[in-house]
Amino acid sequence: MRLPRHPNLVPFDRVVTDELEGRVVGFTNNDISGGSLEENRSRVFRLKWLQQLTNLADDLNLCFGISHEDIAPRNLVINDSTDCMMLFDFNFAARINCSSRLEDEGYVEERNDVKWVELTMYEIITRDDSLRRVPHEDQHEDNLPRDWVKHVHVQLGHAFADYQLLLQDWKVRRLSKDTHDGLGNKLPEIINWTARPKPPKTTWNVLDSNFNPLALVVD
């Protein structure tokens, strides 16, 4: 919600509150009619959408200091009115410059966005999502086949080699920039937020083995 408007981010709409208890229960996003890339796999995948995705990852990581940490076809939609790819679902988002994992909100290198972009493109082109079914710390780009085989039903707007070249050039640039500058340093528009407060403890009234009342306090 602190992120500025961006053509490749699904915009935040409004906060949903529980008026009786006076607390926030969620929020809504604007509806994007094109559907996610996981739901609608029949569309022709444009090269410019990959370019938009890599540019967005750069903006999030290198300008705002944010790592989405869950880039995947299910979290990418196509806005038919603008012909733009848009990212949503920041449930796992983290501050890259956070020195400690406060409330489990800190940056996790194993979930870095460069890796997720490559895995996402591999899934879209090959329709092989087997790596998503293993723990994220065991998901590595090195586990991907050297030669990707385009699925017979996948339609691309350009030659397959153009997508591979764009992705490889971007990865090389990012590796060079992240190594030289240090990911999380020199961020021009860094965004910070306070850690989520711990939820209040809950008391459960139960009976012990002798049927005596017992109050259990749990997180």
pLDDT digits (tens, 9 = 90+) for 120-144: 999 999 999 998 888 878 887 788 8
Identify the residue whose tokens are 């021009």: 188
Architecture of domain 34-218: Orthogonal Bundle (1.10)
φ, ψ of residue 16 in degrees (nearest 5):
-105, 125
From the CB of residue 174, how many other CB atoms can be counted at a distance below 10 Å? Answer: 20
Residue type, 121: M
Tell me the per-residue pLDDT of 181-202, one tens digit each, with 9 for 90 and over.
Answer: 556 556 667 776 666 666 677 8
As a whole number of angstroms, the distance between CA 116 and CA 71 comes to: 5
Please give the full DSSP string across 2-71, using - where no structure is assigned.
-SPP-TTBPPEEEEEEETTTTEEEEEEE---TT-BTTT--SSPBPHHHHHHHHHHHHIIIIIS-EE----
Mean per-residue pLDDT of the chain? 86
How would you class 175 by CB atoms within 10 Å of its CB: exposed for 0-12, middle for 13-18, buried for 19 or more?
exposed
Task: Report the pLDDT value the prediction gives residue 104, as an integer from 0 to 100.
Answer: 56
